[in-house]
Amino acid sequence: MLRLLNLELQKLLLNRTSKILIFTSFILPFFVILLSSLKINVFGFFTLELGELGIFNFPIVWHLTTFFASQFKFFFAIVVVSMIGNEYSNKTLKQNLIDGLSKKEFILSKFYTIVFFSLVSTVLISFITFCIGMYYSSYTEASIVFSQTEFLLAYCIKLITFFSMCLFFGMLVKKSAFALAFIFILFIVEWILFGLITWQFNAKIASSIQNFFPIQSMYNLIEQPFQRIAMTKFPNKIDLSYDYAVHWYEIAITLSWTVIFVFLSYKLLKKRDL
């Protein structure tokens, strides 16, 4: 595993564009800190400081930061599809196979790289969140500070699955721009299917089926935190309540898509004439 990971990292670090994109994808999560220090001037009457509103208290801060940090995943997605595009354009894929690397090892080297960068990103956001929480939170008891850290697990799995999907589309079309376009098309297709199922049956059935779609299943891992924040300010508003927890079956569905995407990537490479 380490040999394959080291091989892939060498390829990426020798490419200037990949280095810039990797650096950017690791730096952007730190912009979550800016969110905590954001001050909004309300028509000159008063200044609203987000850090003073209690939204960065433990444990809700784990939910908030992982949700916003996951929005930056598209930068490393470009790296993932570029990994495949460069292999074909630079003929390094064929050369690797000639040098003795099997097709299975080739796909695994990409997947190990995806897992590695997802873990690094998770460690970074863990550190950032802990620092923000310790600075702003009114609660410092260990039982509260480390509760709901399952959002970190959800964040890591969400990255791995999304990048595995990028790997599959990169293998499918061989071109970075087209691969990213396919992801956008998949998003549209999912909502078209949701509309058709709703029209044929009802919204409840359509919503249940939609939860098994790849992009929607990834989103379900970390639901938007805005209603939860509102619930803390208006606890009597029952209509604001919703299920924001990380569930084992949501993790299972998303991991299943990871396996499917990696397996299909291998099948594509195995059948393709290089």
Residue with tokens 């003795």: 100
Q: Report the number of distinct structural domains present in the chain.
A: 1
pLDDT value at residue 7 = 81
pLDDT value at residue 211 = 94
Six-digit token string for 155? 């964040």
pLDDT value at residue 53 = 65
- pLDDT tens string, the chain, 274 residues long: the values are 788 888 888 878 777 777 887 887 778 777 766 666 665 554 554 445 566 667 788 989 999 899 988 888 887 888 888 888 777 777 777 777 777 788 899 899 999 999 999 999 999 999 989 988 888 888 888 888 999 999 999 999 999 999 999 999 988 887 777 888 888 999 999 999 999 999 988 888 999 999 999 999 999 999 988 888 777 766 666 666 778 899 999 999 999 999 999 999 999 988 876 5
pLDDT value at residue 165 = 95
pLDDT value at residue 79 = 82
| Residue 206 structural domain | 2-271
pLDDT value at residue 274 = 59
> Which residues, in sequence order, are bridge partners of residue 40?
48
Q: What is the crossing angle of helices 150-173 and 73-89, to 10°?
A: 30
Distance CA 110, CA 27 (A): 22
